[in-house]
Structure 1
């Protein structure tokens, strides 16, 4: 296991997160997108750091009594070290703390490792969004975790 911490993101993180997105995604978010999320009252974002350097992040939007996980990313050299699980646990706890009924997300149909991670935490596949992703074009699997009335 690696020594890391998880905290809420701030504007100082946005440059690092935009660079991380370029490594992790074919269509990355811009630094301005991350800045906008820090100012969005519906957005909750957390960053995983190693020696104070951001190496992963996760975010979700709270809309009434539902949460939607927008992104989860971990730098390639820190994958399979428990960061994604810890960040997902942080979001699930935040969802409970905010009395959310459910959490949803989309994941590439070919990303079986991520689907397996989400299933481990109780997310279930509810269907697909056709041609949701680009570069390459691919369907998204819609996954949902029912938290219930809490």
Structure 2
């Protein structure tokens, strides 16, 4: 069965639902204050939510600085994974970044997160540098991935 979904820009009112996804997805979740500051104070930040039947089930944040986009976080509620929603969200974020003038996009991903790396490779991302001890919960390294749009 195909899941019907939609995208929109995240608002302050969405933070409670996003916090649920954040806590179910990450061992060190961002704080409510971090999301608030991203939405209110960071002129470079763009945050999208993915909704299924008026419920936020995924979100993605990206900073767009001049012609470079950097994904800060992306997550789908665990019970909605495996339905290609992460892929749809990535596609939309890339579309928005390009509309806002980005020529390249980068992100960090855990070395052990092969599923996410596979998703990013579908969009042409390649592995670049390794950030040693990037994740503070277990000191795991991060793989820096990037893609050029042009």
Aligned residue in 2 for 1:85: 87
Structure 1 residue ranges without an equivalent (≥5): none
Displacement of 1:134 = 2.3
Q: Which residue of the other structure, out of 44, 51, 66, is the alignment partner of 2:68?
A: 66
Q: SS at 1:133's partner residue?
A: coil
Give yes or no for contact 2:66–2:101 (8 Å, CA) kept in 1.
no
Aligned residue in 2 for 1:103: 105
Aligned residue in 1 for 2:30: 29
Matches within 5 A, 1:1-150: 1-39=2-40, 40-148=42-150
Structure 2 residue ranges without an equivalent (≥5): none
Displacement of 1:30 = 1.1
TM-score, with structure 2 as normaliser: 0.95
Q: Give the ranges of 4+ consecutive aligned residues of structure 1 lying more than 4 Å apart after TM superposition.
A: none
Q: Supply the distance in 2 between the matched residues of 1:18 and 1:121 (Cα, whole angstroms).
A: 27
Q: Supply the distance in 1 between the matched residues of 2:62 and 2:50 (Cα, whole angstroms).
A: 15
Q: SS at 2:137's partner residue?
A: coil
